[in-house]
């Protein structure tokens, strides 16, 4: 199941061919297609296509090339079109200084007017940006915390800008050009992005992916974009499908949210979604706002937390996996009794286990749980986060004394498990080398740095 979030199916070279195009898209497992307009006339055509075909959705907007005669009255016409139930965004809008078909000042005004319109009707925008990075970023920053949600389509800016846009909650998409031999820079950017903020598109009829380069592009070819995503991000095509479908739902409301997820596979490992509850509230954690990993929505209320039997049933034969990891967007030791029961089952049936924890387990359970890890947990990975107790308290939003609790937990765990790993997140305020020194010299554990994304 795939999504083409950007296909201009109203172009003349699609005339008389739409039914065949949609059939080929269906055969390629493309479930949804978004058709963004580029002016009032094509926005109307996009709405007509969405009205006619079940799997097509529309966006309405005026492209920067068409803003030469921009007037605010255009918003009234867009508002009429946007009232259609299958209009999911305002777009394609933005800035283009490569061709400069319209004056820069007029482009910026049209961009701002349409952003404000999108915020007013609570729909995301689809952004075109070419050779206008500075002004584009300045405009988007000015709407930070306004409720603006955006897709930056056919991304061709910098990694730094992409990272900032994602930090504001926006999404990045790539077209068939991600497959081009000379697009190493785009693949390098993709490899560093938070997968919870990426989308697939074709930009049909342009930018056909290899092996169709030079031919008319169409939605069926988005599968080749997804395959390149999987290659670059070192995940399965199925993972990319899940990720981009969920991201499409989050931004455009197309499709549906998945049900509760209790276990999920990444690579050769199986992860156990234990709980969303935690005694900490790390400043970089997305637990409360976006608890998603690789397309898996791990949001789990206390009422929905299953008993050990549900996890055991989903695990089946644990030897199928390289390891089974107790994690989630909360602290697993909050439910230590369940973790212990499932861990025993895994070990009794020949599997390997890892516990990802903040090291507060004994404090949370009001007893020393370390001896109970013997023959239950093989590897413990503990979030050190920083070498400085005061900074630890600030990052974790806990009492300073819990730093020593975590250090004692790490030291004590060495007697009951095969390996102790301690990690920090790669954020600017943390001194990674001093943290490494604490772990390797004073605790005698393995040290790792976790990327923020």
Cα–Cα nearest to 352, from 343, 339, 360: 343
8 Å CB contact between 356 and 396: no
Superfamily of domain 263-450, CATH level 4: Aldolase class I (3.20.20.70)
pLDDT digits (tens, 9 = 90+) for 388-435: 999 999 999 999 999 999 999 999 999 999 999 999 988 888 899 999
Model confidence at 368: pLDDT above 90: yes
Query: To the nearest whole percent, how much of the chain has pLDDT over 90?
Result: 86
Give the residue-averaged pLDDT of 312-327.
95
Give the residue-averaged pLDDT of 159-178.
96
Look at the block and give the residue holding tokens 């005004």: 109
Give the residue-averaged pLDDT of 203-222.
96
d(C-alpha 429, C-alpha 258), whole Å? 36
Give the residue-averaged pLDDT of 156-182.
96
CB-count burial class (<10 Å; 0-12, 13-18, 19+) for 72: exposed
Using N-to-C axis directions, what is the helix angle for 401-413 and 389-396, rounded to 10°?
100
CA 129 centroid distance within chain: 21
Which range (83-87, 148-152, 238-242, 318-322) has the least confidence? Answer: 238-242
How far apart, in Å, do the first and last CA atoms of the chain sit?
A: 25
Q: What is the pLDDT of residue 258?
A: 65
d(C-alpha 281, C-alpha 168), whole Å? 20
pLDDT band at 244 (very low <50, low <70, confident <90, very high): very high
DSSP state of 7: B
CATH class of 2-252: alpha beta
d(C-alpha 248, C-alpha 422), whole Å? 35
What torsion do the CA atoms of 332, 338, 340, 345 make, to the nearest 10 degrees?
Answer: -120
Q: Count Cα atoms within 13 angstroms, Cβ side, for 75.
A: 16
Q: What is the pLDDT of residue 389?
A: 94
Domain span(s) for CATH 3.20.20.140 in the chain = 2-252
**What is the sign of the dihedral through the CA atoms of 40, 46, 51 and 52?**
positive
Domain span(s) for CATH 3.20.20.70 in the chain = 263-450
8 Å CB contact between 115 and 148: yes
d(C-alpha 377, C-alpha 10), whole Å? 58
Look at the block and give the residue holding tokens 């979604």: 273
d(C-alpha 174, C-alpha 293), whole Å? 20
DSSP state of 376: T
Using N-to-C axis directions, what is the helix angle for 104-121 and 133-142, rounded to 10°?
30
d(C-alpha 427, C-alpha 451), whole Å? 8
Q: What is the pLDDT of residue 296?
A: 82
From residue 73, alpha-carbon distances to 97, 114, 117, 242 in Å are 24, 11, 12, 40
Q: Which residues of 166-176 are buried (b: 16+ CB within 10 A; e: fewer)?
A: beebbbbbbbb
Model confidence at 453: pLDDT above 60: no
Is the overall model pTM greater than 0.75, yes or no?
Answer: no
Give the residue-averaged pLDDT of 212-229.
97
Give the residue-averaged pLDDT of 247-275.
90
**What is the sign of the dihedral through the CA atoms of 152, 157, 158 and 164?**
negative
**What is the sign of the dihedral through the CA atoms of 232, 237, 241 and 242?**
negative
Q: Count Cα atoms within 13 angstroms, Cβ side, for 395.
A: 21
8 Å CB contact between 334 and 277: yes
DSSP state of 85: T
Model confidence at 307: pLDDT above 60: yes
pLDDT band at 452 (very low <50, low <70, confident <90, very high): low
Structure tokens at 408: 């004692």
Q: Count Cα atoms within 13 angstroms, Cβ side, for 327.
A: 25
User: Higher confidence at residue 63 or residue 284?
Assistant: 63
Give the residue-averaged pLDDT of 43-56.
98
């Amino acid at each position: 199941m795939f999504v083409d979030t950007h296909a201009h199916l109203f172009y003349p070279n699609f005339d008389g061919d739409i039914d065949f195009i949609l059939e080929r898209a269906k055969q390629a497992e493309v479930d949804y297609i978004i058709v963004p307009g580029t002016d009032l006339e094509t926005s109307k055509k996009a709405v007509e296509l969405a009205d006619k075909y079940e799997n097509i959705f529309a966006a309405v907007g005026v492209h920067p090339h068409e803003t030469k005669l921009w007037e605010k009255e255009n918003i009234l016409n867009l508002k009429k079109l946007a009232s259609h139930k299958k209009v999911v965004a305002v777009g394609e809008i933005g800035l283009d200084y490569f061709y400069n078909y319209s004056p820069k000042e007029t482009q910026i005004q049209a961009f701002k007017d349409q952003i404000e319109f999108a915020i007013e009707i609570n729909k995301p925008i689809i952004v075109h940006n070419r050779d206008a990075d500075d002004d584009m970023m300045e405009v988007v920053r000015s709407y930070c915390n306004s409720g603006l949600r955006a897709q930056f389509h056919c991304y061709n800016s910098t990694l730094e800008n992409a990272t900032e846009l994602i930090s504001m909650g926006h999404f990045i998409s790539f077209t068939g050009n991600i497959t081009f031999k000379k697009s190493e820079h785009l693949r390098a950017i993709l490899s560093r992005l938070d997968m919870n903020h990426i989308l697939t598109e074709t930009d049909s009829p342009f930018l056909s992916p290899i092996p169709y380069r030079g031919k008319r592009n169409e939605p069926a070819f988005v599968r080749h974009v997804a395959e390149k995503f999987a290659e670059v991000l070192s995940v399965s095509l199925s993972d990319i499908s899940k990720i981009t479908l969920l991201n499409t739902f989050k931004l455009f409301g197309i499709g549906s949210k998945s049900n509760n997820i209790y276990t999920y596979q990444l690579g050769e490992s199986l992860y156990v979604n234990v709980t969303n509850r935690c005694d900490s509230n790390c400043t970089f954690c997305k637990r409360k706002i976006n608890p998603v990993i690789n397309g898996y929505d791990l949001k789990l209320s206390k009422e929905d937390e299953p008993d050990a039997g549900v996890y055991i049933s989903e695990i089946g034969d644990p030897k199928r996996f390289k390891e089974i990891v107790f994690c989630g967007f909360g602290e697993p030791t909050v439910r230590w009794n369940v973790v212990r029961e499932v861990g025993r089952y895994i070990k009794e049936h020949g599997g390997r286990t890892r516990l990802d924890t903040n090291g507060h387990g004994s404090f949370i359970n009001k007893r020393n749980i370390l001896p109970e890890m013997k023959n239950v947990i093989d590897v413990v990975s503990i979030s050190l986060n920083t070498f400085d107790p005061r900074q630890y308290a600030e990052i974790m939003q806990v009492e300073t004394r819990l730093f020593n609790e975590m250090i004692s937990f790490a030291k004590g765990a060495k007697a009951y498990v095969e390996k102790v790993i301690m990690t920090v997140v790669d954020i600017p305020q943390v001194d990674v080398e001093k943290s490494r020194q604490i772990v390797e010299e004073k605790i005698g554990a393995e040290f790792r740095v976790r990327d923020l994304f």
